[in-house]
Structure 1
């Protein structure tokens, strides 16, 4: 599996530079990364996906090579930004794939722009339950910016990054994702990046956990194919949130990948690409109907969204539950 870095392109929208990678041809996949990451989180799967699809992998505002202004870092603001980027790139419709925080953006994009969304895949996504790792909640605490400024001084940062990467190489489930955490930690050396991440987290997390949820709008997924992919050993957002997704959207395809953490697309890129392609191959893209959307909104969700028992979870490489 190729893991090369792809050429990053730039476009200025609303006065802010937006970075993105565009590879391949065919139906369009919009790949949205998680908090503190950038488009490179998708590098292990981009080349495989580009054999069949046009892959658009942006750096969200405040991340990677994109601008880091004092701006709107809400999920709605990010969804608007993706609409504008696709418009500039002359792309009308996409299958949107969102990882972690990017899953929340994907949900919002599908909700705000159903006429431009063919399908939605959520990967270890936020928005499916309140629980989240203490490290993410800590970003909302007073003094985070100042403390992280000290922790990212050159010598301290180098030791910290090296320690996290060493721990990730032990093969232990509990330390599986620390290599990616090390990259995020290293990116915090930029004070503008730290400020942007703080604004992002405060928009979706408080001391109790996640604020944003798809629970009250999950019934709208009746209008488009939805899939959820999770790593069984995720220590950032609990894998049981995949069961929440199955309860909220019974028609969704749910895949739990064994021996994978919060980044299943990096832990098992070939399996992830196969799941994504098989899901696209076996579903029809959503066709937006204003009348159907109006009916769904008027009828709303009747009664509790979650059934008492969930038996629809499929585990990649394992038997169906």
Structure 2
């Protein structure tokens, strides 16, 4: 993986890149995360695709401007990021918040979106859950104990979490403006447009992947997406929580590559 930077609408954006295929794959992380969340699956995907993994604006090592972090703001960011890199067509994988962003982007840019993979996407759940509450508190008051508790809860069965994941999260959330961007995103999502409108106009082939044990956005919400998207497949990964690509990367890769025809 190569770490690279690009200017997007005047902001310095950091991203990871791997692979040299003519086929592109963009991975979009969730709330409070960074490109590293995908590091266990990037090497597998890069055998078949050129993989681009940005730190969303406001997160990771990308710039964190003072602005309203609305869903439309993130969708425009994805559009500008792809334009800045000259990416004309790509498949997209979006996790949680990244899934919600990918949905609106794909609905409005179907000519440039080849296939869409949604991993426990946000947008249908209107209330919080204890695991999500713990994660938000860990982001706003970052220390090793609160982060370890939150990430353990997110697995659905209190698995032990790699210390590197915890320390990376705590370090990122202590960066200037990181808490502002996080909280602004949370508030922005509360006023996001009704997601059903976008789901019903998506025509690109779509795969919805959900962890059976997900306590952040429970798997019962999968039905909302599968029923609304015209060409949609669903796969439930057993024994994992909110981030199956971290908890069982090989199983996740197998499912996704099968869908992508690789």
- CA apart distance, 1:168: 3.5
State the 1:267 CA deviation: 1.2
Match of 2:123 among 124, 127, 146: 127
Larger CA Rg, structure 1 vs 2: 1
Question: Are 1:13 and 2:25 an aligned pair?
Answer: no
- 1:185 Cα shift? 4.6
1:24 to 12, 19, 24: 19
Shift of 1:218: 2.0
Q: 1:254 matched to which residue of 2? A: 234
Measured after TM superposition, the shift of residue 75 of structure 1 is: 1.6
Residue in 2 that maps onto 1:298:
none
Listed as ranges, the matches of 1:138-287 within 5 Å are: 148=140, 151-152=141-142, 157-161=143-147, 164=149, 168=152, 173-176=156-159, 183-205=168-190, 212-221=193-202, 223-249=203-229, 251-281=231-261
TM-superposition CA deviations, 1:25-68 (whole Å, max 9, x none): 22111100000000001100000000001101000001111001
* Alignment partners' CA distance in 2, 1:187 and 1:54: 26
What corresponds to 1:311 in structure 2? none
Q: Tell me which residue corresponds to 2:94.
A: 98
Contact 1:132 1:238 in 2 (8 A): no
Inter-CA distance 17–249: structure 2 relative to 1 (3 Å threshold): same
Query: 2: distance between equivalents of 1:185 and 1:200?
Result: 18
The answer as to 2:113 corresponding to 1:117 is yes
TM-score by length of 1: 0.72
Q: Is the 8 A contact 2:144 2:166 kept in 1?
A: no
Alpha-carbon deviation of 1:104? 0.8
How much has 1:164 moved relative to structure 2?
3.0
Compared with structure 1, are the counterparts of its residues 195 and 279 closer, same or farther at alpha carbon in structure 2 (3 Å cutoff)?
same
Give the number of aligned pairs. Answer: 258
Cα contact 1:177–1:261 (8 A) shared by 2: no
Q: Which has the higher contact order (CA 8 A, sep 6+)?
A: 2
1:108 and 2:99 correspond? no
For residues 78 and 192 of structure 1, what CA distance do their matches in structure 2 show?
17
1:240 and 1:181, CA in 2 relative to 1: closer, same or farther beyond 3 A?
farther
Q: CA deviation at 1:91?
A: 1.0
Distance 1:252 1:258, change over 3 A: same
Q: 1:59 aligns with which of 33, 55, 59?
A: 55
Task: State the SS of the aligned residue for 1:108.
Answer: helix
Structure 1: runs of 5 or more not aligned: 1-5, 283-321
| Alpha-carbon offset, residue 17 of structure 1 | 0.4
**CA apart distance, 1:212:** 4.7
Please report how far the alpha carbon of residue 127 of structure 1 lies from its aligned counterpart in structure 2 after TM superposition: 1.3
Q: Is the 8 A contact 1:164 1:182 kept in 2?
A: no
Unmatched tracts of structure 2, length 5 or more: none
Secondary structure in 1 aligned to 2:58?
coil
Cα shift at 1:139: 8.8
- Could you say what secondary structure the match of 1:281 adopts? coil
Pair 1:39-2:49 in alignment: no
